[in-house]
Amino acid sequence: MGTVIEQVSLTDGGWRTHHSALRLAVNAAKHCLHEAGRNAHDVDLLINAGIYRDRNLAEPALAAMIQEDIGANPEDPHEQAHGTFSFDVSNGSCGVLTALQIVDGFLKSRAIDLALVVASDADPGHGMSEDFPFSPAGAALLCDWFDDARGVERIHWINIPDEGESFSATVGLLDGRNVLRFAESEKADELFAAAAAQAAEACLHASALTLDDIDAIVAAPAHSGFRAALSAHMGFSETQIIVAEDQRTHTASLAAAFDRASAQIRPGGRVLLVAAGTGITAGAALYRMPDGTASRQR
Amino acid sequence: MSTTRHHTHIDLERLTGIHERRVSVGEDDSYSLATTAAVDALHRAQRQAASLDAVISCSITKLRDGLTQQMEPTMSSAVAHAIGADQAMTFDLSNACAGMLTGVTVANNWIRQGSMQRVLVVSGEYISQLGHNAARHIRNIMSKELASLTLGDAGAALLLERAPTGSEGIKFAGFTTVADYSRLCLAYPKGHEPAARMFTDARGIHRAAMANTPLLLHEVLDTVGISLHDIDHVITHQTSARAIRKGMAKMSSYFGESPRHDAVITVDRYGNTASTTHTVALIEELESRHIRPGETVALIALASGLEIGIVLLTLDEELVERYGHSD
């Protein structure tokens, strides 16, 4: 019984989108709905977990603009029609996992039938950033609920507070201009992997499972250093840790890794979703692939 | 209007009903406001931070160490660490001025299902800098930055926990985003000024909110099985006293009845404190002994998006007494 990821779509930056997280998210969302054969009006809940966006926008939630641009019940409410609820969450590479936990709460209570999670990041450009470290990338995940054994199980979280020493991003005045800047520790991958391993172990322990019971770890971020360190911490083969193809993908990285995994893992297989990011915060959850639908052609 | 650079002939006090606001002069930022409110909420409720399952920070501003907006790590992780809630799930939620009530809606699902016992929804809004920035640019009443002058600073926290079936508590929490209006109020860093600037089509937002809120409230009341007259107190988002009174008059004419008490107005003393307005008003009402145990309170979020949210709740005697009421 749980939240099932019905469809995943990914976008990367073209000449029209590489400075627009909004366009990346909208493109991913439209593609995701089209591939799933769903209408935008079917979406009851839209959560955006992306962080770096056009103009470093603070208000409104980017999710509201995405909702308008994909045409998910944007018009004035009227009788005999349902609306869509949109908002943003922010939790770095853990944002998509966080959104899945929120979606799970709404689906489980039957407040909604269908949710769309999007995550995208792009360099706002135009002098508004300095040494932007991430690739322009977007992802969308369409989620619904099944009463059988499929889907996301309980998510376990671990905090190892470091006051942002591993990674931080700020927008502040620099030479009279508002600039988005980043600071990253060389040890970030190792610190994130240690936190991710703790969350993964807590998750397996709570379910009375071992690594032998899972087919793969689906992990974020996608850095090779993180993947290697996670492998070492957990004693799990690096080849079975699936990450996004583009190492510089940020909030979309867990979705991108899941997309790769769904093409590789047998129907009904069990994976461990693991994400870690600055804070330091890490989360882990077991996910049972749907029978017969996991290998859906895209 | 005394701080505007241009002589504008605008009577902002008459226009908005705001007599005073509270602004940080640098001693507080989003982080310190949120942390102070979180500590106060735990202290009043006599709960340990270690017992929190989640800390959700819901502010628009994430200013720390002055006027630097912190994008990562999350504000929630910093607040959780400061108060000693290192075991809690942490994340930030952003939904303009509807942030805290969105956090309440998310937490309400988890708590009802029993997947969490106790959640802290917190927000620190150090947003008055947007008013200082606007004051340099406003030339007349048509300025899109006029609404920025009403902003005030505040920190707020709501501690939600699972209670036995049949207890007082949250009866309903739900939202609709009318996204055709998503571009009517935008805030972002611009030019040479610190923090951000906010550009609002205030008339457009007010018109859209007035047109759509009655129908959505009607649906909620039907779902819960009560009428408007069964609501004792209405707390809307605090933008201006005039807008709140006009909105409530429209509501009363739509329903043909009114809530038991006039809509709560705190904007005259605090300004528009963004995502914290409902909590600021709720505490003010409790401290003024206006809310009695068991009375129904409707919190109505109206925010850039356009977000329209409704939270219906009743408060138990313990909570009411904690804020000074004695029958």
Q: Do A8 and A137 reside in the same domain of the chain?
A: yes
Same domain for A110 and A177? Answer: no
Picking from B106, B109, B194, the nearest residue to A173 by CB comes out as B194
- Per residue in A151-204, pLDDT tens? 999 999 999 999 999 999 999 998 889 999 999 999 999 999 999 999 999 999
Pair A115, A88: CB distance under 8 Å: no
Verify that B93 and B139 share a domain, yes or no: yes
**B5 within domain boundaries:** no
CA distance B176 to A126: 34
* Partner residue opposite B304 with nearest CB, options A60, A159, A161: A60
pLDDT category, B5, cuts 50, 70, 90? low
Number of domains in chain A: 2
Q: End-to-end distance of chain B based on CA atoms, in angstroms?
A: 43
Percent of chain A with pLDDT over 70: 98
Q: Is B222 on the interface with A (CB under 8 A)?
A: no
Q: What is the pLDDT of residue A297?
A: 30
Position B166 pLDDT exceeds 90: no
Average pLDDT taken over every residue of chain B: 92
Q: Which of A157, A246, A62 is CA-nearest to residue B89?
A: A157
CATH code of B45's domain: 3.40.47.10
CATH number for the domain spanning A31: value is 3.40.47.10
Q: For residues B168 and A78, is the Cβ–Cβ distance under 8 A?
A: no
Residues A56 and A138 both lie in one domain? yes
Query: Does residue B302 surpass a pLDDT of 70?
Result: yes
Cα distance between residue B60 and residue B54, in whole Å: 19
| Together in a domain, B189 and B292 | yes
Region A133-138: mean pLDDT is 98
**A77–B182 CB contact, under 8 Å:** no
Average pLDDT, chain A: 94
ipTM > 0.85 for the complex: yes
Domain boundary among the residues B130, B161, B192 is at B161
% of residues, chain B, pLDDT over 90 = 84
pLDDT at B326: 47
The order of strands in the sheet holding B54-57 is A2-12, A137-146, A115-121, A45-48, A85-90, B89-94, B54-57, B118-125, B154-161
- Of the two residues B323 and A274, the one the predictor is more confident about is A274
Q: How far is CA B286 from CA A116, A122, A170, B173, B269, in A?
A: 38, 45, 38, 21, 16
Do A146 and A178 belong together in one domain? no
Within 8 A of B198 by CB-CB distance, chain A residues are: 59
Cα distance between residue B120 and residue B160, in whole Å = 6
Q: Which residues contact A235 (CB under 8 A, 6 or more apart)?
A: A211
Give the domain-ending residue among A108, A133, A151.
Answer: A151
Q: B-contacting residues of A 69-128, CB under 8 Å?
A: 72-79, 83-92, 94-95, 98, 101-102, 105-106, 108-109, 111, 128
Q: What is the nearest CA distance from B323 to chain A, expressed in angstroms?
A: 31
| Contacts of residue B170, Cβ cutoff 8 Å, sequence gap at least 6 | B104, B108, B160, B311, B312, B313
Whether B192 and A173 lie within 8 Å, measured CB to CB = yes
Q: Are residues A72 and A167 in the same domain?
A: no
Say if CB B89 and CB A157 are below 8 A apart: yes
Cβ pair B54, B162 in contact under 8 A: no
Q: What is the pTM of this model?
A: 0.96
Looking at the structure of chain B, the number of domains it has is 2
Tens digits of per-residue pLDDT, B101-144? 999 999 999 999 999 999 999 999 999 999 999 999 988 888 99
For residues A27-47, give the mean pLDDT: 98
A230, A205: one domain: yes
Residues A84-121 pLDDT 10s:
999 999 999 999 999 999 999 999 999 999 999 999 99
B6, part of any domain: no
Q: Which of A68, A106, A279 lies closest to B179 in CB terms?
A: A68
Residue B263 pLDDT greater than 90, yes or no: yes
Under the banding of pLDDT at 50, 70 and 90, the label for residue B323 is confident
d(CA A12, CA A249): 9
pLDDT above 60 for B3 = no
Q: What pLDDT, on the 0 to 100 scale, is given for residue A296?
A: 35
Average pLDDT over every residue of A135-146: 97
| pLDDT at residue B23 is higher than 90 | no
What are the tokens at B273?
Answer: 């404190």
- Can you give the residue range of the structural domain that contains A186? 156-288
Both A230 and A131 in one domain: the answer is no
Question: Do the Cβ atoms of A177 and A297 come closer than 8 Å?
Answer: no
Q: What digits encode the pLDDT tens for the residues A50-77? A: 999 999 999 999 999 999 999 999 999 9
Local confidence band at B2 (pLDDT 50, 70, 90 cut-offs)? low
Report which of residues A284 and B9 the model is more confident about.
A284
CB atoms within 10 A of CB B135: 18
**DSSP character string of A9-78:** EEEE--TTTTT-HHHHHHHHHHHHHHHHT--GGG--EEEE---S-GGG--BS-HHHHHHHHHTSS-SPP-
Task: Identify the domain containing residue B188 by its residue range.
Answer: 170-322
What does the pLDDT read at residue B22? 77
Q: Average of pLDDT values for B258-277?
A: 94
- Do strands A85-90 and B89-94 pair parallel, antiparallel, or not at all (unpaired)? antiparallel
Interface test with B, best of A52, A54, A85, A87 (most B CBs within 10 A): A87
pLDDT at A178: 94
B1 lies in some domain = no
Minimal C-alpha gap between B126 and chain A (Å) = 13
Residue A185 contacts B where some CB pair is shorter than 8 Å: no
Same domain, B313 and B247: yes
Q: What is the pLDDT of residue A184?
A: 97
Confidence of residue A293 (pLDDT cuts 50, 70, 90): very low
* Average pLDDT of the segment spanning B49-54: 98
Residue that is written with structure tokens 């007035």 in the block = B210
SS3 A139: strand
A141 and A222 fall within a common domain:
no
The residue-averaged pLDDT of A260-278 equals 95
* Residue B9: per-residue pLDDT: 64
* Cα A5 from Cα A265, distance rounded (Å): 14
CB contact under 8 A, B80 and A67: no
Grade residue B4 by pLDDT with cuts at 50, 70 and 90.
low
